[in-house]
Structure 1
Amino acid sequence: MRGNSWTDTGFKPNGIQPSSTNPLGNSEINSSAPFHNSRWISYLSTAYNASIIKNYNLAVTAATVDNSIIPHITNDLKYQIQTTFRTLYTKKPAWKPTSTLFAILIGVNDIEVMDANKTLSTKTSDVFKTYASLLTTLYSSGARTFLLLNAPPLQHAPSASPSITPFVTDWNSRLQSMARAFSSQHMDVSMFTFATDELFEQIFANPAAFRETKGLRNLTAKCDAYQNYQGPDPGYRNASCGNASFEEFFWRDGLHPMFTVHEVMAREMAEGLSGGRNGTGGFVKLLGQNESESVVETRRWRVRRD
């Protein structure tokens, strides 16, 4: 797994590695209140898995695709793949191409920086050249199954400006084109995409449509008391946050969604990857030459029925 803070679980590549008894390795998941640090990828690996799924999460908070194009403060996606992954996980890989999913959620920070500094908005093509080259690096290392998540509709985030909307739209259009082109160029690849934007828009329109978000009462704001809350009760209430509890907010802070949103993301991915329906809302798509049947094993997920 690669990406930014929407995926980062604090996993340290040089620490304890994932195993059959500890599939998340040294990820910083609070055992007494796991919802605080859980991301879509931890739910996908431990809540909706039909078999043991070891999660090697190389995502880094605040990452962009390429710091030399869109400067930012932490190791970028290029470093995660070209340095961390290639150094630690390709010489004697503990994974098999036929049973390993390479998932990437990136773009939130690129989009934010471009919106804040319009002079960088002309660099999007260069960013996607790097992104495509990194997929090639993964492919050359044996990766054959990809899941690329598009950017969420950041214009709804409390800290974002409406001016960010065209950047999100352009990013997602380019990602879809890149994914389809890569798939058509590599006949042995299963290329999945996940429409984060469409899922979020459906939640905003009708949170009750999904069991994980049916209790949401505040879809637009954040509350500082909840942003910093680390207690064990997801139903915690603070008077400064109005009539909604911690778990009844969509946004945990100005840019990141609550654990409930991460969980519905994971369930929809599991639904689409399990070989059955393309998810409740069809958010998972299999692109390219293998649209009728994936050539790589992805039936490692299950969906809980309440």
Structure 2
Amino acid sequence: MESSSAERNPILKDVGQQVIYYGGDDGLHETEEETVQLNVYKRSLGERYFFKYIKKMHLFFLLVISLTVMVYMSFATPLPLSFNYDKINTIISFGDSYTTRYLDMKSLSYACRNCTSAGGPNWVIYLTDTTNWISWDFAYNSAPINNNIVNQAPTVIDVSTQVRDLYPKIFVSPTEEISDIVASKYKDMMRTPESTLTTIWVGINDIDLTYDYADTDALDSKIMQAYQVLIDELINEGVHQFMLINVPPIDRAPMWHNTRNENLIRSRVRGYNEKLKIMIEGLKKGHPKDTFFEYDAWSYFNMLMDNPKPYNMTDIDTFCPDWAHPEENNCKPIEEYFWLNDLHPTFHVHELLAKDIQRYLRSQ
């Protein structure tokens, strides 16, 4: 006996406000309308699951992309090289007579301990005395950044030549003999970018040779461009930690003090140092993984000359005509003078300077 429609068993409800029944023993009985309604439900159900799946996949891909970007940025944005004073074992120096030790490029030795412009050890020697750092000093007398820019004599070994010619002969493409000498200096240690501090102290001769130029502002900009190119080249060779030293107050040196050009030199020094500071800030932004310090020699020298007594100096304006024989010339002991001659400070000032540089570096 067939089951009536009233006797069918409902198994699915709420499809288009209809109820679909399955028959009992006679199997499935569906009208055409019921079939359409069931397909609509299935399609609606499938679409809901499909869009949930798409939403989940969208979130998943967003997560993957975010993680990928984070990983990329961790490699693409270099972290600054952390300066650790206690890890330094090498100081590489470029500059002029304030820094030179007259390095012999064949034997990699220095003329003598007192063979400097200070009448005794200079700041580099005093610094290495107290730290045992190995010193590679490429500085030479009368050096500007670039001879051609300031019309310096071509025989002068300018900083450009120091960086592009002398430095590579030891650290970029040395001969076997040079390599052996360098290796002998590092028997129980290793020189790395983190253990090397590179210093550049230059500008005195750039100013001395051009103080009366008509447009020193444009000239200083040109000098700084050449300066920065040299630093970029050193970075490309693996140098990463720099200490750049500004120009001291040479307007107070006997060469210029109490002369008609004293104010002009003072202004020139300030203009040069301002551009140096701007260049250093640009280097920090352009080379975020490298370290750049600016040691303020201008302020330190002024402090010493404004307050000489605690440092056992009694003369900050003149110098002994023959510093090697002070007694014969009725001079004070050389240690009491700030200036050894008309432009260079004494070894006593260099000793004080080295102590302050060491204090400065320890604080970084």
Which has the larger displacement, 85-94 or 66-75? 85-94
Q: Is the 8 A contact 1:157 1:254 kept in 2?
A: yes
Map 1:89-104 to 2 at 5 A.
Answer: 89-91=171-173, 95-104=191-200
Q: Is the 8 A contact 1:70 1:120 kept in 2?
A: no
Report runs of 4+ in structure 1 exceeding 2 Å deviation.
25-28, 33-37, 91-95, 116-122, 236-241
- One-letter amino acid matched to 1:82: R
- One-letter amino acid matched to 2:151: P
In the alignment, structure 1 residue 135 sits paired with structure 2 residue 220: no
1:83: Cα distance to partner? Answer: 1.2
Q: Which residue of 1 aligns with 2:277?
A: 176
Residues 121 and 112 (structure 1 numbering): CA distance in 2 closer, same or farther, change over 3 Å? farther
More strand by share: 2
In the alignment, structure 1 residue 10 sits paired with structure 2 residue 111: no
Q: Is the 8 A contact 2:203 2:247 kept in 1?
A: yes
The Cα RMSD (Å) is 2.2
Q: Is the 8 A contact 1:7 1:40 kept in 2?
A: yes
Find the structure with the greater CA-based Rg. 2
Q: 2:308, 2:146 → 1: CA distance? A: 35
Q: Which residue of 2 aligns with 1:156?
A: 252
DSSP 3-state at the match of 1:69: helix
In the alignment, structure 1 residue 253 sits paired with structure 2 residue 341: yes
Q: 1:59, 1:222 → 2: CA distance? A: 24
More helix by share: 2
Q: Is the 8 A contact 2:322 2:329 kept in 1?
A: no
1:215: Cα distance to partner? Answer: 1.3
Q: Which residue of 1 aligns with 2:299?
A: 198
Task: Map Cα deviations across residues 196-238 of structure 1 (whole Å, 9 max, x no partner).
Answer: 01001111111234xxxx2111100122122xx1x6xxxx534
1:194: Cα distance to partner? Answer: 0.6
- One-letter amino acid matched to 1:26: Y
Kindly tell me the number of residue pairs found equivalent between the two proteins: 251
Q: Which residue of 2 aligns with 1:56?
A: 136
Which has the larger displacement, 167-176 or 181-190? 181-190
Query: When the two structures are superposed, what TM-score results if normalisation uses the length of structure 1?
Result: 0.76
1:247: Cα distance to partner? Answer: 1.4
**Is there any run of 5+ residues in structure 2 with no aligned partner, and where?**
1-92, 183-190
In the alignment, structure 1 residue 26 sits paired with structure 2 residue 114: no
- One-letter amino acid matched to 2:140: V
Residues 117 and 222 (structure 1 numbering): CA distance in 2 closer, same or farther, change over 3 Å? farther
Q: Which residue of 1 aligns with 2:66?
A: none
Q: 1:36, 1:29 → 2: CA distance? A: 10
Map 1:76-95 to 2 at 5 A.
Answer: 76-91=158-173, 95=191
Q: 2:347, 2:165 → 1: CA distance? A: 30
Residues 35 and 172 (structure 1 numbering): CA distance in 2 closer, same or farther, change over 3 Å? closer
Q: Is the 8 A contact 1:6 1:39 kept in 2?
A: yes
Q: 1:250, 1:34 → 2: CA distance? A: 13
Which has the larger displacement, 244-253 or 150-159? 244-253
In the alignment, structure 1 residue 68 sits paired with structure 2 residue 148: yes
In the alignment, structure 1 residue 36 sits paired with structure 2 residue 119: yes
Q: Which residue of 2 aligns with 1:262?
A: 350
DSSP 3-state at the match of 1:174: helix
Q: Is the 8 A contact 1:115 1:121 kept in 2?
A: no
Q: Which residue of 2 aligns with 1:297?
A: none
1:28: Cα distance to partner? Answer: 2.4
- One-letter amino acid matched to 1:76: D
Task: Map Cα deviations across residues 58-103 of structure 1 (whole Å, 9 max, x no partner).
Answer: 0010001011111213011100001111233223685421100100
Residues 202 and 81 (structure 1 numbering): CA distance in 2 closer, same or farther, change over 3 Å? same
Residues 120 and 69 (structure 1 numbering): CA distance in 2 closer, same or farther, change over 3 Å? farther
Percent identical among aligned pairs is 24
Task: Map Cα deviations across residues 225-256 of structure 1 (whole Å, 9 max, x no partner).
Answer: 22xx1x6xxxx534443xx3221111000000
Q: 1:38, 1:118 → 2: CA distance? A: 38
**Is there any run of 5+ residues in structure 1 with no aligned partner, and where?**
18-24, 277-285, 287-306
- One-letter amino acid matched to 1:265: L
Q: 1:221, 1:35 → 2: CA distance? A: 15
Q: 1:141, 1:119 → 2: CA distance? A: 34
Q: Which residue of 1 aligns with 2:327?
A: 237
Query: When the two structures are superposed, what TM-score results if normalisation uses the length of structure 2?
Result: 0.65
Where relative contact order (Cα < 8 A, 6+ residues apart) is larger, the structure is: 1
DSSP 3-state at the match of 1:104: strand
